[in-house]
Amino acid sequence: MKRAWKTSTTPSTAGRQAETVREDREADSEAMQRTYKTPAAAGGHARTMNTEPIRFDTKIAVLLRADLEPWQRLNVTSFLVSGLGTQVPEVIGEPYEDADGVPYLPMFRQPVMVFEATKEVLATAHARALSRALPRALFTSDLFATGNDRDNRAAVRAVPTADLDLVGLAVYGPRNAVDKVVKGARMHP
């Protein structure tokens, strides 16, 4: 497996960041799965865990409008990230299991970065995500008044793109592209 290094000079990050780019994505995925959980070796002796940091060349970001109430921030974030996992299956890791063998649902395989911004920065981020054709999910203020998926979709469909009253946006894609989308936002406190 070949490794190449590239640097990022994204204005929203401090300095240059190196990231590993691997040509063989399947091998990368298999290596990542082994890193998350190392089974015990025969004879009951634990094998040495791989402690090499996992680096992702992609990013999951949620951008929330800064004037939301705390309950709204949690609600919007949970709705937004649920959309990414359904359409971008590579963001989902392997199922979990505790020491007693009780299974749990799989979750994202990488961190979700949560940002906040003004209404204007959110609108700009939306336009950037559209121009880059990145997978995205949105939440508009109209959705606080609906109570089901059918009504949510109807509320979004009723408004032209430029007039959407966005309160949240989730986006997934190459790290540099996502950094450019959320430029001007700040990490959620």
- Whether 112 and 93 have beta carbons less than 8 Å apart is answered as no
Other C-beta atoms within 10 Å of 12: how many?
A: 14
Q: Strand 58-65 to strand 112-117: parallel, antiparallel, or no bridges (unpaired)? A: parallel
- The whole-model pTM stands at 0.70
- If you write DSSP's letter for every residue of 83-140 in order, what string do you get? HHHHH-GGGB-PPEE-TT--EE---BSS-EEEEEE-HHHHHHHHHHHHHTT--EEEEE
| pLDDT tens column, 29-57 | 444 444 444 444 444 445 556 777 778 88
Quick one: pLDDT at residue 107? Answer: 93
Q: Which fold would CATH assign to domain 56-187?
A: Bit1 (3.40.1490)
Instruction: Tell me what pLDDT residue 187 has.
Output: 83
Structure confidence at residue 165 as a pLDDT band (50, 70, 90)? very high
In this predicted model, what pLDDT tens digit does every residue of 115-155 receive, in sequence order? Answer: 999 999 999 999 999 999 999 999 999 999 998 999 999 99
